[in-house]
Structure 1
Amino acid sequence: MSQPEHDAYAASPRTLEVEDLHVSVGDHLVAVSGVSFQLRRGEAVGLVGESGSGKTLTCRAVLGLLPETGEVDRGSIVLGESDDRVDLIAAGRTVWDRVRGSRIGAVFQDPGSYLNPGITVGRQLVEQLRVRGGLGRTEARERAVGLFTEVGLHDPAGVFQLYPHQLSGGMLQRVLIAIAISCEPELLIADEATTALDVVIQAEILELVARLRRDHELSLLLVTHDLAVVAETCDRILVMYGGEIVESGPTEQVLTDPRHPYTRALLAVATIGDWTRRTLDVIPGQPPSAGEEMPGCRFAPRCRYATQACVSAPVVTTEIGPGRSARCVRLDELDTEPGAVLVQDRIEATA
Structure 2
Amino acid sequence: MSVRAERETKGSRRPFGEAVLEVEELDVTVPEGGRAVRGVSFTVADGESVGLVGESGSGKSLTCRSVLGVLPPGCAVAGGRVGLPASGADLTTYTRGQWNAVRGRVIGAVFQDPASYLNPSLTVGHQLAEALRVTGGLPRAAARARAVELFDAVGLREPADVFRRYPHELSGGMLQRVLIATAVSCEPRLLVADEATTALDVVVQAEILELFQRLREDGGLALLLVTHDLAVVAENCDRVLVMYAGEIVEEGPTARVLAAPAHPYTEALLRVASVDPADRRDLAVIPGRPPRAGADLPGCRFAERCAYAEPRCTAGPVALRTLPDGRTARCLRPVSADGQDRGHVANAAAHQPEGATA
**TM-score normalised per structure 1:** 0.90
**Number of the residue aligned with 2:296:** 293
List alignment gaps of at least 5 residues for structure 2.
1-14, 343-358
SS of the counterpart of 1:221?
strand
The reply to whether residue 308 of structure 1 matches residue 311 of structure 2 is yes
Q: Conserved in 2, the CA contact under 8 Å of 1:242 and 1:298? A: yes
In structure 2, distance between residues paired with 1:95 and 1:175: 26
Map Cα deviations across residues 41-68 of structure 1 (whole Å, 9 max, x no partner): 0100000000000000000000000000
**Number of the residue aligned with 1:118:** 121
**Number of the residue aligned with 1:58:** 63
In structure 1, distance between residues paired with 2:162 and 2:141: 17
List alignment gaps of at least 5 residues for structure 1.
1-8, 338-351
Distance 1:147 1:336, change over 3 A: farther
Map Cα deviations across residues 153-175 of structure 1 (whole Å, 9 max, x no partner): 00000000000000001000000
Q: Conserved in 2, the CA contact under 8 Å of 1:250 and 1:323? A: no
**Number of the residue aligned with 2:21:** 16
Distance 1:279 1:143, change over 3 A: same
**Number of the residue aligned with 1:38:** 43
In structure 1, distance between residues paired with 2:59 and 2:71: 12
The reply to whether residue 160 of structure 1 matches residue 188 of structure 2 is no
Match of 1:248 among 248, 251, 256: 251
Match of 1:73 among 75, 78, 87: 78
Distance 1:124 1:332, change over 3 A: closer
Distance 1:97 1:27, change over 3 A: farther
Match of 2:280 among 277, 281, 292: 277
In structure 2, distance between residues paired with 1:146 and 1:323: 43
2:205 alignment partner AA: Q
The alpha-carbon deviation at position 114 of structure 1 amounts to 0.6
1:59 alignment partner AA: C
In structure 2, distance between residues paired with 1:183 and 1:60: 20
Map Cα deviations across residues 129-185 of structure 1 (whole Å, 9 max, x no partner): 000000000111111000000000000000000000000010000000000000000
In structure 2, distance between residues paired with 1:172 and 1:35: 32
Q: Conserved in 1, the CA contact under 8 Å of 2:273 and 2:280? A: no
Summarize the alignment of residues 176-191 of structure 1 with structure 2, pairs less than 5 Å apart. 176-191=179-194
Q: Conserved in 1, the CA contact under 8 Å of 2:319 and 2:331? A: yes
The alpha-carbon deviation at position 318 of structure 1 amounts to 0.6
In structure 1, distance between residues paired with 2:39 and 2:244: 12
Number of equivalences: 327
Q: Conserved in 1, the CA contact under 8 Å of 2:27 and 2:39? A: yes
2:199 alignment partner AA: A
The alpha-carbon deviation at position 332 of structure 1 amounts to 6.4
Q: Conserved in 1, the CA contact under 8 Å of 2:28 and 2:79? A: yes
In structure 2, distance between residues paired with 1:181 and 1:199: 23
1:30 alignment partner AA: R
1:32 alignment partner AA: V
Q: Conserved in 1, the CA contact under 8 Å of 2:262 and 2:335? A: no
Distance 1:139 1:80, change over 3 A: farther
- Percent sequence identity over aligned pairs: 61
SS of the counterpart of 1:228?
helix
Match of 1:231 among 205, 230, 234: 234
SS of the counterpart of 1:208?
helix
**Number of the residue aligned with 2:353:** none
1:287 alignment partner AA: P
Distance 1:218 1:318, change over 3 A: same
Q: Conserved in 2, the CA contact under 8 Å of 1:21 and 1:33? A: yes
The alpha-carbon deviation at position 91 of structure 1 amounts to 3.2
The reply to whether residue 329 of structure 1 matches residue 349 of structure 2 is no
In structure 1, distance between residues paired with 2:35 and 2:52: 19
**Number of the residue aligned with 2:352:** none
Match of 2:322 among 319, 322, 326: 319
In structure 1, distance between residues paired with 2:80 and 2:111: 25
Q: Conserved in 2, the CA contact under 8 Å of 1:246 and 1:317? A: yes
In structure 2, distance between residues paired with 1:321 and 1:219: 27
| More off after superposition, 158-167 vs 211-220 | 211-220
The alpha-carbon deviation at position 274 of structure 1 amounts to 3.1
**TM-score normalised per structure 2:** 0.88
Give the root-mean-square deviation of aligned CA atoms.
1.7
In structure 2, distance between residues paired with 1:213 and 1:173: 17
The alpha-carbon deviation at position 293 of structure 1 amounts to 1.7
